[in-house]
């Protein structure tokens, strides 16, 4: 028995800022000199990102007009974890509701009261009673809905949510599983000049995505789950990491990450495709997590793909940046909206990566009912 991604909904905060506008904020906040500022702006230009969304309007303001960061030189006293979590609790629920409604509105004759399971995902904010319980109330879900929370797994966490939903549906064909991934990455800006932090500040953004997973397709076009495969590159444990410190969550994103992904992606792909006796050349549709422009490029080199093959990932990276666990769902949504009826049963290969270094892969297929 197979499960289906029946619909995918998305949402972003209202503050959509040009990449170079954010670079101006960063240069001032980090108190960079003229040469450092030129290098920073070059990094932002080469990121492959045009626009990012944030719940904090400060990134588009000048010092003196900030509403979250202090209007002082050096932004001192720098916001604490508690202050950042307060912002998460304020903004995560309405953004999640927007994404969930966008998802459920795509399904004919369906109401939130039919949801049997709720899976919430985040690595950028935590509190209890948490996002899951607030969504039960805000969406009008049954109080008996079975709730699962997946926290702090990073950019690949949506894959584990989909795996859990798949297991629920296989155990109970009447299950209706709603996944909601919400990440407010921009709450965790850090004032460090090391390259890892400069890159993190240059790519991460805010967003939410929701998916309804069922044991039957409830829409004319859905994505059928075929297989999963996960692997670890232990040598990359220190190259991509996510830690809670006194002034927010601090991301380590080493320049070695693309090389580690390039080294492991071939075997990961082969192991996944072997489960269904497929060859890579049979796959024409790809939904790859755009962890960054360089990551997309090394995957193309390793697998012999073109930028056109990777078009959905580049589209999401360009318009939204990296929204951690949310991002691959934006890519899958872009693909799902673009597929044609004649692509029924075509396979879809999807990847995501995160701390560990974790390499996740998923094989789906297009399911279309005339």
Say if residues 292 and 47 touch (Cβ distance below 8 Å).
yes
pTM, two decimals, is: 0.96
Q: Which of 12, 22, 45 is nearest to 201 (CA)?
A: 22
The span from the CA of 155 to the CA of 158, in Å, is: 7
pLDDT at 258: 85
pLDDT at 68: 97
DSSP string spanning 318-334?
A: HHH-B-GGGHHHHHHHH
Residue with tokens 């992606």: 265
pLDDT at 46: 94
Report the relative pairing of strands 240-245 and 4-11 from DSSP bridges.
unpaired
Beta bridge partners of 244: 249
pLDDT at 356: 82
**Residue ranges in the chain whose pLDDT is less than 50:** none
pLDDT at 197: 84
pLDDT at 126: 93
Over the stretch 165-213, which tens digit does the pLDDT of each residue have? 999 999 999 999 999 999 999 999 999 888 888 988 999 999 999 999 9
């Amino acid at each position: 028995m197979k499960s289906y991604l029946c619909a995918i909904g998305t949402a972003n905060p209202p503050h959509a800022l040009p990449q170079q506008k954010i670079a101006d904020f960063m240069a001032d906040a980090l108190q960079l000199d003229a040469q450092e500022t030129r290098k920073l702006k070059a990094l932002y230009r080469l990121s492959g990102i045009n626009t990012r969304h944030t719940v904090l309007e400060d990134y588009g303001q000048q010092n003196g007009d900030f509403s979250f960061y202090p209007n002082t030189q050096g932004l001192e006293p720098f916001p604490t974890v508690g202050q950042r979590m307060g912002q998460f609790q304020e903004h995560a629920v309405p953004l999640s509701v927007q994404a969930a409604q966008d998802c459920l509105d795509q399904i004919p004759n369906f109401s939130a009261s039919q949801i049997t399971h709720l899976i919430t995902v985040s690595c950028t904010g935590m509190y209890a009673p948490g996002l899951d319980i607030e969504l039960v109330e805000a969406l009008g879900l049954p109080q008996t809905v079975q709730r699962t929370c997946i926290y702090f797994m990073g950019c690949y966490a949506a894959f584990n949510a989909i795996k859990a939903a798949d297991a629920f549906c296989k155990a109970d064909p009447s299950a209706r599983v709603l996944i909601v991934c919400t990440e407010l990455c921009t709450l965790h800006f850090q004032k460090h000049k090391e390259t890892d932090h400069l890159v993190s500040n240059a790519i991460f953004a805010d967003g939410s995505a929701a998916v309804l997973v069922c044991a039957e397709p409830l829409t004319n076009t859905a994505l059928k789950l075929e297989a999963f495969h996960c692997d670890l590159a232990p040598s990359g444990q220190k190259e991509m990491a996510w830690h809670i410190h006194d002034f927010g969550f601090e991301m380590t994103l080493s320049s070695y990450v693309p090389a580690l992904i390039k080294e492991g992606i071939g075997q990961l792909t082969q192991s996944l495709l072997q489960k269904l006796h497929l060859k890579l050349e049979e796959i024409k549709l790809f939904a790859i997590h755009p962890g960054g422009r360089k990551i997309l490029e090394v995957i193309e080199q390793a697998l012999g793909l073109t930028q056109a093959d990777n078009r959905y990932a580049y589209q999401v990276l360009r318009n939204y940046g990296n929204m951690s666990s949310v991002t691959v769902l934006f890519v899958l949504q872009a693909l799902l909206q673009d597929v044609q009826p004649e692509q029924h049963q075509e396979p879809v290969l999807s990847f995501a990566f995160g701390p560990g270094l974790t390499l996740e892969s998923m094989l789906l297929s297009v399911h279309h009912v005339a």
